[in-house]
Structure 1
Amino acid sequence: MNEMEQSNVTTDAVHRTQDRQADRIQILTTLNETYLPRLQVLLTSIRASQPEETADIWLMHSGIPQEDLEPVARQCGDMGYGFHPLMIDSTAFDGAPVSRQYPREMYYRLLAPFFLPEHLHRILYLDPDILVINPLRPLWETDLRGNLFAAAAHTGKTELANNINQLRLGTDHAYFNSGVLLMDLGRGRDEISPEDIFTYTRDHAKELLLPDQDILNAMYGRRTLEIDDSIWNYDARNYNTYLLRSGGICDMDWVMGNTAVLHFCGKSKPWQKGYIHRFGILYKHYEQLTRKWT
């Protein structure tokens, strides 16, 4: 390779790096102070899986003390990430159905377009009980094809749960998990109505088992692009289900090489004693990395 060719290769690499830095991945989560350690583990996994990426972390919360946010802010600073905590004023939910069953935090992700800065046009919402083990860039760059959201459905070995949820909510599409959501914020500002969400919640209170997820499916399921759960929202409880469903393809090597988002769904969590599912040891690994990082 001559000097001119080498110069062109170097220039192309610089341009690619600059383009990627200009398109920083925007990540949103919502939680209370008890889940801040989970957020730190999530951040460690994001950084480890894509060290060349830069990102901004947006945290919508109801009043976490500033001193409790400091460890997260330091970690983000060390990683080169922006950290943007947003305390949501309770007056924004005057007139909304709010109770122990329907806390105001359940509305945060669906109403994020109205709380995030207008210069943001898309964002990737992640629940804090997640590990990222491969790059998020392909999901971030997904063409939403005019939809409000992209999300995955956890259908399992049979369609029974899917069919039950369709019957319960009166829908005819897959039942989407709201733990991973790619969101078009611009379309959301135009098409999502907070009052419509509050009215639906009030009118269908008896039918809502997982309120925010049920609202997503009932009101916006037809405006949601389905993505592959085995890659973008892998239910960490169900390794054997994925293995069977894939005809043996999605074994552990496949998961580690292809799955980007491991989601620790359900009440049992890998940071609790007695967790029995096989990805618990991987979570422990990232917990240890987080302690070393922080």
Structure 2
Amino acid sequence: MDIVCCTDNNYIKYCCVMLTSLLENNKEENITIHILGDNLTSDSQNTITSIVEEKYNQHLCLYAVDRKLVVDFPNMGSYVSLTTYYKLFITSILPSSLHKVLYLDCDLIIVHSVKSLWDCDLTGKPLAAVKDAHKGMEIHCALLDIDCIRYGYFNAGVMLLNLDYLREVGFEKKAVDYVTENSNRLTFHEQDVFNGLFYKQVIHLPYRYNLHDRLYRRQRYIDAETLPIVKEELKSPVIIHFSSGKKPWTSRCLHPCRYLYLRYLDMTIWKGERPDMSWKERLWRWNRHLASCLYLANGYRKQY
């Protein structure tokens, strides 16, 4: 099983928590972790090595990515780093001997085995991913010339990638060209690129493999027919994706599964570390809870 993730020194801690959750819940598998890194320090490399190779006895491959590849790519100034674009260069960075990889963002945790996800048949398809859900999705898709109703829009935080297919169609060049030609339309960065190129060919996975933030909210921005499916999927999570801007390592995260994230954090060298909860932050959380209870904000539902 080959797992790929992109990170820089600022995200090493969160990458390590994600990897800990993955390896803790997939101990029966032979796993190779491929890290696409941006000038990772020796301390960062040693920390990842201590988890993957020393603690869990799995394999680790580190790849130094030249930041010049993405320096001119659009950045909306949000919590998303340009490092996220590294996944567009997977086919040339990873060895040609790899035929399939599971890409994982660093802001998620794996709470059960991913073997069934890994075994998904990608024959004749570029990738498999979970449908996304967010406010204004139809408008966003129209901006990218995607028929949202017919094809949908997927989340790129968890993707099973068919490298043979991607190499055959010249994905890397197509991706770079797409960024160049659509730089003013890329609201969700590389996710828009993957969707813009493959929205017709993607295999849509069950939601349990990428339970992103909106699926836990009161208003989920999904159609009535999909709602009961999502409710059932939330009962059997495999991957929980903290995809909003308020991450579980920050004081303003109200996600109902934040306690699970902290459980895996406490399995690392950062055990016991918590964000500062000043009176100002506590007041913000109280106001947000109240607004949610009064349906003045799209707060979280109780955990299933």
Pairwise TM-score range, normalised by the shorter structure = 0.7 to 0.9
Asked if 2 retains the 8 angstrom alpha-carbon contact of 1:269 and 1:275, the reply is: yes
1:277 is matched with which residue? 255
Asked if 2 retains the 8 angstrom alpha-carbon contact of 1:97 and 1:198, the reply is: no
2:37 is matched with which residue? 61
Q: Distance in 2 between matches of 1:127 and 1:58?
A: 12
Q: Write the mapping of 1:118-267 to structure 2, written as runs, cut at 5 A.
A: 118-155=96-133, 161-172=136-147, 173-229=151-207, 231-236=208-213, 238-241=215-218, 246-247=227-228, 250=231, 255=234, 258-267=236-245
Which protein is richer in helix relative to its size?
A: 1
In angstroms, what is the RMSD of aligned CA positions? 2.7
- Secondary structure of the residue aligned to 2:146 is coil
Asked if 1 retains the 8 angstrom alpha-carbon contact of 2:32 and 2:61, the reply is: yes
Per-residue deviation, residues 116-167 of structure 1 (Å, max 9, x unmatched): 01111100000001110111000101012411111111236xxx63322221
1:87 matched to 2:68? The reply is: no
State the aligned residue count: 260
| Identity of matched residues, % | 22
Q: Distance in 2 between matches of 1:81 and 1:134?
A: 17
Q: Distance in 1 between matches of 2:84 and 2:16?
A: 21
- Secondary structure of the residue aligned to 1:131 is strand
Q: Distance in 2 between matches of 1:104 and 1:162?
A: 23
Q: Distance in 2 between matches of 1:189 and 1:219?
A: 14
Deviation at 1:277, TM superposition (A): 1.7
Asked if 2 retains the 8 angstrom alpha-carbon contact of 1:28 and 1:123, the reply is: yes
Q: Distance in 2 between matches of 1:69 and 1:35?
A: 12
Per-residue deviation, residues 89-119 of structure 1 (Å, max 9, x unmatched): 356x39x843555976343212201110111
CA 1:198/1:246 → structure 2, altered by over 3 Å: closer, same or farther?
A: closer
Q: Distance in 2 between matches of 1:62 and 1:292?
A: 22
- Secondary structure of the residue aligned to 2:193 is helix
Q: Distance in 1 between matches of 2:32 and 2:133?
A: 31
Q: Distance in 1 between matches of 2:214 and 2:171?
A: 35
> Which structure: larger Rg?
1
Asked if 2 retains the 8 angstrom alpha-carbon contact of 1:237 and 1:277, the reply is: no
2:12 is matched with which residue? 36
Asked if 1 retains the 8 angstrom alpha-carbon contact of 2:74 and 2:183, the reply is: no
- TM-score, normalization: structure 2? 0.77
Q: Distance in 2 between matches of 1:289 and 1:180?
A: 23
**Structure 2: runs of 5 or more not aligned:** 272-304
- Secondary structure of the residue aligned to 2:266 is helix
Which deviates more, 124-133 or 186-195? Answer: 186-195
